[in-house]
Amino acid sequence: MNSSTLPPDLYCVMGNPVAHSRSPAIHARFAELTGQHLRYERRLIALDGFAQGVRDFIAEGGRGCNITVPFKFEAPALASVCSERVRLAGAANVLSFAADGSIHADNTDGLGLVADITRNAGVALQGARLLLVGAGGAAAGVLGPLLQAGVRHITIANRTVAKAEALVASHSALAALQKAELLALAPQALEGDFDVIINATASSLAGDAVPVPASVLRPGSLAYDMMYGPAAQGFLDWAQAHGAVARDGLGMLVEQAAEAFAIWRGVRPPSAQVLEELRRAPH
């Protein structure tokens, strides 16, 4: 029996909400371009039903899943094996289900962000001065890889400063190893401007004002929103109005998906090609 007559391997993205996710289209295109036989679905999971949702998916023959809001912090507790990135972030966005019943957790968000900034946007992170806005799961998932990319200084700005301080504490050993400065501040205490500003909050999605002053920007700064599409528009408009280079998180989405695909299938898909296709496609 050849592989084309076997049922496709099953994968999904789990979240709440999840209807907006572009992950199924991205993974379908990756599979097409790499000759992989798989099916990738969206799964809307009840807010109190994540662990059951994972068990049900495994029972259906699921091979792996991406985890999105709000379940990234719950995912590591289900895993038999957590990557160093998961241990550092306390959050996972990729689960892999092995034949022996073990569950492996990884976090590809930061790898995807770094790849999009350095490869697709062509902006160097080595030696950069960076502002990370927010201290939730999105920020936790990317801080380690940003430090490992050689960023010289990272300020984490968050309304609840204690959350930012907790992120600084959990990453202080890595920062010391990388000889990077790591600082936690309230948004109103920010001084000076930055080479790169990353919005890891859902401020645009919630229709809120941008949570930091425009003084953090200078002409030519990269202002990056980890959201994409309409959810990022408020932040992008604000950045462009102050002379910064604005970029949404679609490239991060594609690159973190490519990392997950490589974990699951052992094949690296052509992520830059797929990102270009998505950028060109009508919304």
User: Which residues participate in the annotated binding site for shikimate?
Assistant: 21-23, 68, 93, 109, 228, 256
Structure tokens at 158: 């968050």
Cross-strand bridge partners of residue 82: 105
Structure tokens at 85: 């990135």
Residue pair 112/52 in contact by the 8 Å Cβ criterion = no
Per DSSP bridges, beta strands 81-82 and 245-247 are unpaired
User: Which residues participate in the annotated binding site for NADP(+)?
Assistant: 84, 134-138, 158-163, 226, 249
From the candidates 27, 29, 63, 72, which is the catalytic residue?
72
In degrees, to the nearest 5, what angle opens at C-alpha 13 toward C-alphas 10 and 14?
A: 115
User: Which residues participate in the annotated binding site?
Assistant: 21-23, 68, 84, 93, 109, 134-138, 158-163, 226, 228, 249, 256
Burial bucket for residue 35 (CB in 10 Å: 0-12, 13-18, 19+): exposed
Cα separation of 107 and 90, whole Å? 9
Verify whether residue 72 is a known catalytic residue. Answer: yes
The residue behind tokens 């371009």 is: 33
Q: Where are the alpha helices (DSSP H) in the chain?
A: 23-34, 50-59, 75-78, 84-89, 109-115, 137-148, 161-170, 172-177, 233-241, 250-265, 271-280
Residues labelled catalytic: 72
